[in-house]
Amino acid sequence: MSTYLIKLTPLDKFFFGQKKTFGDDNANYFVYSSLFPQQTTLLGLLRYQLLQIAGEEIFKDNKIQDEHKAGELIGKQSFSPFVKDKLQFGIIQSLSPVFIIDKKKNDEGKEEYFLPVGRRFQKENEKAPYNLLHLSCQAGCPPIFGEYKPKKGLASCWLSSKSHTLLNEEDFFTKDERIGIRKDYEGATNDDAFFCQRYYRFKNFKEVEGEKTKVCKQPPVREHDFCFAVLLETHRDIKHEELNKRIVYLGGERQPFLMDLMEVSEETFKLNIESSTLTSDEKHYTVVLLSDAMIEPKLLEGVKFASTEVKDFACLLTHVGTRRFYNKKKKREEQNIEEVETALSHQHELYARGSVFYFDTKEQANQFCEDLEKVPNFHTIGYNHAIIIEPTKTKK
């Protein structure tokens, strides 16, 4: 087994599609990108890249030439969320949840990675640091965040691996909105022609204000060099040198990304968050989702309290025999085994990364995480990953 760290640095704005799209079936005139690529998007990217370096006898002119050998390399079908049998993706053993790396070296000359630590932070004012909200359980009252102030909302924060800096998830990104008007072939404007589309960029630069005027007169200063990252585990070695420094295209708008790929040791590169005053509740075991997760209602029975967000999920279904990628079937499917065209899966709701679940005992928290990993195929490609953060005070 080999482990590889993959970094995806956007070379321009990016757009990751979701449920709301332009078109006849989704008459939305304002659509916006997700902040992160779906795990299925990353899986599709890697399967395609492996085909590109497989040789012309397997993949040529952007088409699969040998379905059997292609199936051995990347698996016979794409991710299907409702298939109960374990799916095989060829030499791809597993993917980690997508996370963020700051490629700008810190004082120790090392890159830092960021992981979500939960939707449970607030701050007094714009310039104040984020404060962790602790769960309060008083007799006769339902559990609630003790110092929660409704007007200030909740921030979903991420924690750096080295400097232990807390950043709101939204602070990684800056909006890039495009407004336009569609016209028909004759140049006339349609009644529903207006549209607004929101892209995102990483917020890598900081404006420098004058000390007296408070006006930005100097060019922005690069403060960060953020990128998306994912860990790939394979059953055997791959030609990672051929995939390193490639320009790849991701998202609904096929935006360009620089892909860096390097082999790493599983022991030296572990995605982990240590318990500390920045992340630990006083009395409860906290489970934080590192990725979006499909959680059945019965798994929530032991949860004391939760701070969550849900999101819609669906994915395209293909297999090695798919020939028509330019159109998809209107009927949603559970899996796509024999059809030559693409299909769209049934829709489901996932709990979003950063959602937090509180438990009274360590055994309950461990059981919850074990049950997450048992959901067929989701955990394999980076969904349903979570960590347990122990309390600062041990209950007597």
Helix, strand, coil % over all residues of the chain, rounded to 5: 15, 40, 50
Is residue 166 within 8 A of residue 157, CB to CB? The reply is: yes
How far is Cα 129 from Cα 165, in angstroms, rounded to an integer?
10
**Residues sharing a CB contact under 8 Å with residue 23, sequence separation 6 or more, in sequence order:** none
Residues forming a β-bridge with 34: 16
Query: 297 is written with which tokens?
Result: 């209602």
Cβ-proximal residues to 75 (8 Å cutoff; 6+ apart), any chain: 47, 87, 88, 89, 90, 92
Burial of 168-193, coded b for 16+ CB within 10 Å and e otherwise, reads ebeebbeeeeeeeeeeeeeeeeeeee
Cα(345)–Cα(310) distance, integer angstroms: 18
Angle between helices 39-52 and 67-74 (to 10 degrees): 130
> β-strand 92-95 against 226-234: which pairing, if any?
antiparallel
pLDDT at 165: 83
For residue 371, count CB atoms less than 10 angstroms from its CB and return exposed for 0-12, middle for 13-18, buried for 19 or more: middle
The domains of the chain are located at 2-204+222-389
Beta bridge partners of 333: 345
Q: In this structure, how many other beta carbons lie within 10 angstroms of the beta carbon of residue 124?
A: 11
Beta bridge partners of 349: 312
Q: Can you give the pLDDT at residue 245?
A: 94
Measure the CA–CA gap between 144 and 20, rounded to whole angstroms. 33
- What pLDDT does residue 200 have? 94
Q: Tens of pLDDT along the chain (396 residues)?
A: 899 999 999 999 999 976 555 454 445 567 888 999 999 999 999 999 999 999 999 999 988 888 899 989 998 877 777 777 788 889 999 999 999 999 998 877 889 999 999 999 998 888 888 999 999 988 778 888 988 888 888 999 999 987 678 899 989 999 998 876 655 555 555 555 667 889 999 999 887 765 555 666 677 888 899 999 999 999 999 988 999 999 999 987 789 999 999 999 877 777 888 778 889 999 999 999 999 999 999 999 999 999 999 988 766 666 555 554 445 555 555 555 555 556 666 678 899 999 999 999 999 999 999 999 998 789 999 999 999 999 987 644
Quote the CA–CA distance of 280 and 287 in Å, as a whole number: 10
Assign residue 214 a region: left if phi > 0, alpha if psi is -120 to 50, beta otherwise?
left
Three-state DSSP state, 27:
coil
Give the pLDDT of residue 396.
Answer: 43
Contact status, residue 117 vs residue 167, Cβ threshold 8 Å? no
